[in-house]
Amino acid sequence: MKDIASYIDHTMLKADATTDTIRRYCEEARRYGFRSVCVNSCHTALVHEELNGSDVLTCTVVGFPLGAMSAESKAFEARKAVEDGADEIDMVINIGALKEGDRDKVRDDIKAVVEASRPAIVKVIIETCLLTDEEKVLACRLSVEAGAAFVKTSTGLSTGGATVHDVRLMKETVGDRALVKASGGIRTREAAEELIEAGADRIGAGNGVLLL
């Protein structure tokens, strides 16, 4: 169980999440040895405080869940999250720009967040369910070019989540230049194990305890 737990970003991104809910997620992450607790940016300082003294990381989403905002806005949110204690930033790309083939806009959007987030690392959510395989490959390549540490499948709030096919494709694309996070719809240990075998280095789960 510990082996799987160390892959999990214990994730609470619901709009109605209360401080009591966030504290419970932090306590569970400490107890089970999850890799991080992933929250909306308004909860970053609370999570950082609750996890102080543990090995569990503070992870914050930026530009979530649509990615449809200016690069400057995403960078501002990321910078504030890092100031509040975030160790990792999970950002959503500009999906429309990617589908239009505007490589510079997508790359610059990611790069702005990467630069604003230092020394925290950045995971880039490409929302695979909205992309063709060719667009997924392009999104991964642009993420690497912009300096991201991870590419990530999904927000979990669109039309689909992580699949073995997508994780394998993303891993083949980034090679050893970045890591892969699978998220969205992962509810069983068996599903997590299949995704890890396909190349996932991290698992985003809305209920890590249930997954275990």
Q: Among residues 199, 197, 192, 200, which one has the least CA distance to residue 5?
A: 192
Tokens 């540490």 belong to residue: 149
181 is known as an active-site residue:
yes
- For residue 134, the tally of other CB atoms under 10 A from its CB is 8
Q: Is 126 in contact with 149 (CB distance < 8 Å)?
A: no
- Compute the distance between CA of residue 98 and CA of residue 183 in angstroms, rounded to an integer: 20
Residue 152 annotated in active site: yes
d(Cα 65, Cα 185) in Å, to the nearest integer?
A: 15
Which residue of the set 109, 152, 166, 171 is catalytic? 152
Identified catalytic residue from 90, 109, 123, 171: 90
Count Cβ neighbours within 10 Å for each residue of 180-194 and write b for 16 or more, e otherwise: bbbbbbbeeeebbeb
Residue 136, token pair as written in the block = 């997924």
Query: Tokens 């599903």 — which residue?
Result: 191
Provide the annotated active-site residues. 90, 152, 181
